[in-house]
């Protein structure tokens, strides 16, 4: 895994003197075998948004012990609009890694921010945590038509990711939302929850990627058949998503190029998911298509933002020009995504990777 390694939070981030910390447990119950800190654990999860899982992720899954003051310090970074966006993202993924009601509470507090990019990522993390205690806040975000469409969409997707059937009634209500991306997201979430009910005992995270996806991967393994299903706009969106995640799991140049063709399909929601998946796959073959999509001003901002983050995850020199070109884009979510992506690029290709051997790149 060419994982990102954000710097750990230090005591310098605390704004006042604090009493000696009282040790509490947040999320997982014991210190992990690797003895990692809260920030290191969160950093690995920040990486896992876009990278394949490996043995280190498995070691981190054992959990850690933190103090209330540590959770508060990280939460304060997340909700502080004066902090750099990159630092707030690291705080968010650290809280995601810690889990538990305290982390959910801090993440929930940030939904009044004015950055759609940050709020959409809040919803994503709450879904990936798969904790039903996040359902009320996600319900509120989905129902709030003052929130940006990409934020409401992510809240709907997160309700599906949590996997609790109690969200089904609400999601069905929004399957006909006037915002197409929200409606399609809720339709997918309903299909996912119904699929889980029909396949009890199936793992919610399958394959080489540490993410809870909007649809399970298709069982088909023939690359040509998967490509055909991916691009067939007469098929249900759920079936096309299943083909998408099967192609991602297969990996390699053929899969990357097939997925990149999906950036020209009709649904903005579908195109945005293709961008996300190409970021997970991290294959340089898709860079030209991602850069071209990012450069289209008429493209949906949620699609352009996902392409920018994918370029940051791929982190090859060929990605830099596109990211720099749009770091001052008039569309805020695109501009912020490019800045976050450049930060990701620096960590993917910089000294954060010097403590471990470089992993083989995908074959040409």
DSSP sequence for 121-144? HHHHHHHHHT-GGGHHHHHHHHH-
Find out whether 117 and 109 touch, Cβ atoms under 8 Å: no
Task: Give dist(CA 174, CA 244) in Å, integer.
Answer: 24
CATH code for the domain of 327: 1.25.10.10
Q: What is the mean pLDDT of residues 7-26?
A: 33
**pLDDT on residue 204:** 66
- Dihedral, CA atoms, 53, 55, 57, 59, nearest 10 degrees? 160
What is the rounded average pLDDT of the residues 186-207? 88
Binding site feature residues for Fe cation: 120-121, 153-154, 272-273, 305-306
What's the pLDDT at 201? 80
> Coil, helix or strand for 4?
coil
For residue 82, what pLDDT is reported?
97
- By mean pLDDT, which of 163-177, 228-242, 346-360 is the weakest? 346-360
pLDDT in tens, 292-349: 999 999 999 999 999 999 999 999 999 999 999 999 999 999 999 999 999 888 877 7
User: Does 140 reside within a domain?
Assistant: no
Structural domain includes residue 294: yes
d(CA 14, CA 74): 9
3 pLDDT band, cuts 50/70/90, is very low
pLDDT reported for residue 209: 87
The span from the CA of 89 to the CA of 108, in Å, is 14
Q: Is the pLDDT of residue 364 over 70?
A: no
DSSP letter for each residue of 148-166: -HHHHHHHHHHHHHH--GG
Q: Please state, as a whole number, how many other Cβ atoms lie within 10 Å of the Cβ of residue 99.
A: 18
288 assigned to some structural domain: yes
Query: Residue 69 falls within a domain, yes or no?
Result: no
Asked whether the predicted pLDDT for residue 187 surpasses 50, the reply is: yes
Question: Cα(222)–Cα(212) distance, rounded to whole angstroms?
Answer: 23
In the structure, what pLDDT confidence band is assigned to residue 250 with cuts at 50, 70 and 90? Answer: very high
Q: Is the pLDDT of residue 7 over 70?
A: no
Quick check: 55 pLDDT over 60?
no
Let me know if residue 311 belongs to a domain. yes
Residue at 6 is within a domain: no
Q: What is the pLDDT of residue 362?
A: 40
pLDDT tens profile 84-141: 999 999 999 999 999 999 999 999 999 999 999 999 999 999 999 999 999 999 999 9
Q: Are strands 66-67 and 23-24 parallel, antiparallel or unpaired?
A: antiparallel
Scanning the structure block, which residue is given the tokens 């800045």? 339
What is the Cα–Cα distance from 110 to 331, expressed in whole angstroms?
21
Domain total of the chain: 1
Is there a contact between 343 and 90 (Cβ–Cβ < 8 Å)? Answer: no
Whole-angstrom distance, CA of residue 238 vs CA of residue 217: 10
On whether residue 256 sits in a domain, the answer given is yes
Q: Are 287 and 255 in contact (CB under 8 A)?
A: no
Separation between Cα atoms, residue 189 and residue 139, nearest integer Å: 13
Judge whether 78 and 107 are in contact, CB under 8 Å. yes
Residues belonging to the binding site are 120-121, 153-154, 272-273, 305-306
- 38-52, 90-104, 239-253, 280-294 — which is least confidently predicted? 38-52
DSSP E strand stretches across 43-135: 66-67
pTM score > 0.85 for this model? no
| 42 domain residue, yes or no | no
pLDDT reported for residue 307: 98
* Separation of alpha carbons 51 and 2, rounded Å: 7
Maximum mean pLDDT: which of 41-45, 195-199, 223-227: 223-227
Residue 63 has pLDDT above 60, yes or no: no
Q: Which domain holds residue 324?
A: 248-350
């Amino acid at each position: 895994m060419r994982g990102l390694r954000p710097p750990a939070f230090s005591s310098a981030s605390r704004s006042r003197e604090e009493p000696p910390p009282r040790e509490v447990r947040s999320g997982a119950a014991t210190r992990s075998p690797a003895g990692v800190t809260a920030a290191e654990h969160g950093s690995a999860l920040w990486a896992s948004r876009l990278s394949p899982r490996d043995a280190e992720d498995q070691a981190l899954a054992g959990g850690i012990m933190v103090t209330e003051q540590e959770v508060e310090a990280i939460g304060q970074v997340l909700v502080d609009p004066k902090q750099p966006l990159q630092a707030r993202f690291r705080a968010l993924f650290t809280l995601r890694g810690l889990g538990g009601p305290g982390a959910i509470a801090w993440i929930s507090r940030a939904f009044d921010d004015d950055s759609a990019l940050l709020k959409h990522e809040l919803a994503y993390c709450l879904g990936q945590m798969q904790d039903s205690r996040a359902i009320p806040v996600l319900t509120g975000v989905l129902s709030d038509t003052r929130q940006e469409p990409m934020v409401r969409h992510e809240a709907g997707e997160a309700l599906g990711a949590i996997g609790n059937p109690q969200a089904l009634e609400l999601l069905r209500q929004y399957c006909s939302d006037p915002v197409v991306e929200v409606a399609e997201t809720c339709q997918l979430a309903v299909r996912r929850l119904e699929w889980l009910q029909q396949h009890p005992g199936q793992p919610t995270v399958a394959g080489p990627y540490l993410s809870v996806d909007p649809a399970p991967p298709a069982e088909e393994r023939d690359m040509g058949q998967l490509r055909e299903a991916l691009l067939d706009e007469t098929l249900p969106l759920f079936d096309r998503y299943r083909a998408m995640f099967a192609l991602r799991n297969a990996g390699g140049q053929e899969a990357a190029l097939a997925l990149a063709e999906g950036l020209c399909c009709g649904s903005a929601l579908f195109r945005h998911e293709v961008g996300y998946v190409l970021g997970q796959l991290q294959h340089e073959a898709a860079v030209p298509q991602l850069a071209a999509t990012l450069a289209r001003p008429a493209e949906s901002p949620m699609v352009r933002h996902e392409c920018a983050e994918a370029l940051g995850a791929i982190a090859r020199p060929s990605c830099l020009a596109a990211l720099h070109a749009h770091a001052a884009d008039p569309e805020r979510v695109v501009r912020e995504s490019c800045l976050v992506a450049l930060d990701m690029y620096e960590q993917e290709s910089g000294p954060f990777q010097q403590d471990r051997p470089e992993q083989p790149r995908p074959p040409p």
